[in-house]
Amino acid sequence: MDSLLSVRDLSVTFGKRSHAVKAVRNVSFDIYPGETFGLVGESGSGKTTIGRAIMRLNPASGGEILFRGERITGKLPKARDRELTRKIQMIFQDPMASLNERAKVDYIVSEGLYSGEKLPESERRRQVDEALREVGLPTEFASRFPHEFSGGQRQRIGVARALIMRPEFIVADEPISALDVSIRAQVLNLLSELQKKRNLTYLFISHDLSVMRFICDRIAVIHKGSLVELADTETLFAHPLHPYTRALLSAIPLPDPQREKGKTIESYDPSVHRYDQYPPAWQEIEPGHYILANQPEMDKYREMLL
């Protein structure tokens, strides 16, 4: 199957010369039509930077990003830029910070439509009403302001803002981390339902592997700007190989109090790799399962899979 979106040796650098910080280092992966691809890592690992690079909010300092086989990094013609704005949308982490508090919901949801062909007012309003209904909100909410809603309702407004553009691909950047635990499942279920109905493809960014297991088909683990492991979701949970992946999995709370009390949380020490002597490479250790490892580590990981 051809990929919908391909990231090839992507690097993103902030600052210049002696003050430059490489936030993302030579990252590569493919996302296929209709799947939910997860990108997980701790705060500051570079996962949001990758999402923003796909949205062309962060310029790439190296490598490229392809959408349906065509490059979308670098300077693009205005017509192509408008086309990508429609096809690729983003749901942001904090629904309060990402919504214009001075604008009514009607304008917030339909703002993206103003960059294209001018629509009759009746058609614009029809599309706003349709988007609100699709995310489970009454159309009467269009005349109100964001501060009048709960966190879950505000995030649904953010989802409606993305949906109204009829995108093919959505970057969901920690879309539930700022929400109460009681409504997180509702938003996840909404995203799953919309995916099936609209045939959407997601890049789902999170620091929570337990959430990823619920919604993602494949998961890539990122540490300090580099991918360290990538596999099908159940393969990653059943056979985590990289010590950073195992450390993340060990931090997931267990529902059984006795098991939670007796479990051992692993810590990750990058010095165990000895990369100065044996440089690592991004390699496929079993079908669809990739890992950043040097040769001695690959031998050890293969034994773990036996």
Distance (Å, rounded) from C-alpha 306 to C-alpha 304? 6
CA distances from 280 to 21, 92, 277 (A): 21, 34, 10
Q: How high is the pLDDT of residue 94?
A: 79
Q: What are 159-186's pLDDT values in tens digits?
A: 999 999 999 999 999 998 878 887 888 9
Q: How many CA atoms lie within 13 A of 16 on its CB side?
A: 0
Q: What are 202-218's pLDDT values in tens digits?
A: 999 999 898 899 999 99
pTM for the complete prediction? 0.93
What is the sign of the dihedral through the CA atoms of 105, 109, 111 and 117?
Answer: negative
CB 213 within 8 A of CB 221: no
Helices (H), the chain: 47-54, 78-87, 95-98, 105-110, 121-134, 151-163, 181-198, 209-215, 233-238, 243-250, 257-262, 295-305
pLDDT above 90 (res 45): yes
Distance (Å, rounded) from C-alpha 56 to C-alpha 200? 20
Distance (Å, rounded) from C-alpha 274 to C-alpha 226? 16
The CATH 3.40.50.300 domain(s) of the chain lie at: 5-224
Distance (Å, rounded) from C-alpha 213 to C-alpha 245? 14
pLDDT above 90 (res 299): yes
Tokens of 168: 């093919």
For domain 5-224, the question of CATH label 3.30.1540.10 is answered with no
